Amino acid sequence: MTPGKTREVADGVYVVHLPLPMRPTIVNVTLLRDGNRWALIDTGVNSDDSERAFRTALAELGCRPEQIDTIICTHHHPDHYGSSRKYRELCNAKVYLHEKEFDSSKAYVPSKRSDEAVSFFLRHGIPLQRFVHIPSPAQFWAGLYAPAEPDGFINDGDRIDFGDCRIDVVGTPGHTQGHCVLYLKNKRVLIAGDHLLPKITPHVGVFPGGPQNPLQDFIDSQRKIEPLEVDLVLPAHGGTFADHCHRTRQIIQHHEYRMQGMLDIVRQRPRTAYEVARIAFDFNLESSLTIQFPATFETLAHLELLRSRGRVHCEERDEQVIYGAI
């Protein structure tokens, strides 16, 4: 796919491919047309490359920026919300996001790493003393994230009428606390954000100050969208696809399989989440921090779901949290 190229996937519904400076290398955003009015779903990162691709796409469609009056973002991550401030100013549009996502976006504001976060890392076995520098989210995404303060908040069950296009907001927490998918009921199209991807699964992890059992939320959210009448899914990464129910079942089975593997690891002997992650995700101390930290957070999500099911227990040993099989 060439970034910036557009494709009409349903009447008045266009997918636009924008470049990312990391893997995955493309994020898909969506444009909706109602006569001379347009709406943008997700924004890409705040980069010159992404903006050039976006402007190229608008030119291909004959859409002037000022014709976009509505921007809705599925969640707060930089590849979905990173250009929201720039595009609100460019288009003079109103920006909408879930309130929990706006709260979460503040984690990207430059600040000293909190004592709570340091304690969290150490308690779960991450050997901070072995790493010279651990970039904060704000440092990692510096320059790529310029979020707008929303003009309004969206919530599960909201209905947004955009011309003859009815947009139903469906809350799908898990990947993030306030992630929402957008269901175009009369077009039988689901704009899925990161919730439902065709080839990969989104990151679901336990973070400092976050939900204790996000993987259960994520699995519940997968089941929640199964009854929707959908002919076409528009994911944020990867190609469009049909049969969303088949994919939801695949994703749930993937996590069940991953949990079973982690249960087998702690059956051998009790371990910290970091120790379990090293085995389950096959990394070592020399691996990139962009692998080690997310893998540990995702391992925690699986272990906490196992704990809620009564399959594992945890206890404090020498100021660390140790998980063992029941």
Q: Please give the C-alpha separations between residue 94 and each of 52, 87, 184, in angstroms, as whole numbers.
A: 21, 10, 20
Output the six-digit token pair for 86: 């720039």
Q: Are 27 and 202 in contact (CB under 8 A)?
A: no
Q: Please give the C-alpha separations between residue 183 and each of 48, 169, 230, 258, 290, in angstroms, as whole numbers.
A: 30, 6, 8, 30, 32
Pick the range with the lowest mean pLDDT from 32-41, 43-52, 104-113, 311-320: 104-113
Inform me whether the pLDDT recorded for 65 exceeds 50. Answer: yes
pLDDT band for position 302 (cuts 50, 70, 90): very high
Average pLDDT over residues 276-281: 98
CA 289 – CA 266 distance, rounded (Å) = 23
Nearest to 80 by CA among 189, 193, 238, 182: 193
pLDDT at residue number 271: 98
pTM above 0.85, yes or no: yes
Average pLDDT over residues 117-128: 93
pLDDT at residue number 109: 76
Give residue limits of the domains in the chain: 6-108+136-257
pLDDT band for position 270 (cuts 50, 70, 90): very high
pLDDT at residue number 3: 52
Strands, DSSP E only, in 176-227? 180-184, 189-193
pLDDT at residue number 263: 98
Per CATH, domain 6-108+136-257 is 3.40.630.10? no
**Nearest-10 Cα torsion for 239, 243, 244, 246:** -110
pLDDT in tens, 66-102: 999 999 999 999 999 999 999 999 999 999 999 999 9
